[in-house]
């Protein structure tokens, strides 16, 4: 069991290195391998979701964020990332709901949202402004 966890961590870490190099296909492959070794690795789901996001594959990114949240309902990053995608898709209600949950879990995300271009589509929304304090 510990060996599988170590392999999972290694693939997850290498996937993150590939993301930093903008090599999203290889990152996705490594995160997928990490999940084969450790299917309950919420971090690997979140990270793979980020790689899919960078590829513009929002459907798969949202699915991975949902899987991460099922494993760890306190994962602020997954809610925040979902909010950003929903904003890009102009799904205001879903964006606000997920951003609100993210900020409840990690108040520092409020500041991030103020300048994150993913939220440009909802920046003028009154609920968004109230949530981030603008």
40 occurs within a structural domain: yes
The sign one gets for the Cα dihedral 60, 62, 66, 71 is: positive
What's the pLDDT at 6?
79
**Low-confidence residues in the chain, pLDDT < 70:** 1-5, 134
Return the ∠ at Cα 73 (arms to 92 and 3), rounded to 5°.
130
Same domain, 78 and 128: yes
66 occurs within a structural domain: no
Domain that includes residue 18, residue range: 1-57
69 occurs within a structural domain: no
Q: Return the structure tokens found at 81.
A: 């990332």
What's the pLDDT at 4?
61
Burial group, residue 133, by CB count within 10 angstroms (0-12, 13-18, 19+): exposed
23 occurs within a structural domain: yes
Q: Which H/E stretch holds residue 61? A: helix 58-71
Phi and psi based region of residue 56 (left: phi greater than 0; alpha: psi -120 to 50; beta: remaining): left
What's the pLDDT at 8?
87
Same domain, 88 and 121: yes
Same domain, 44 and 82: no
In which residue are the tokens 């990490």 written? Answer: 34
Specify the number of domains making up the chain: 2
């Amino acid at each position: 069991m510990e060996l599988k966890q170590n392999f999972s961590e290694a693939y997850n870490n290498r996937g993150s290195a590939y993301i930093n190099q903008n090599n999203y296909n290889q990152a996705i492959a490594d995160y997928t391998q990490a999940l084969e070794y450790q299917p309950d690795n919420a971090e690997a789901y979140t990270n793979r979701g980020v790689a899919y996001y960078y590829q513009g594959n929002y459907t798969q990114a949202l699915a991975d964020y949902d899987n991460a949240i099922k494993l760890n309902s306190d994962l602020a990053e997954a809610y925040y990332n979902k909010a950003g995608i929903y904003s890009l898709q102009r799904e205001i209600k879903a964006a606000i709901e997920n951003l609100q949950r993210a900020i409840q879990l990690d108040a520092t995300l409020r500041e991030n949202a103020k300048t994150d271009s993913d939220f440009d589509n909802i920046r003028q929304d009154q609920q968004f402004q109230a949530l981030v304090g603008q």
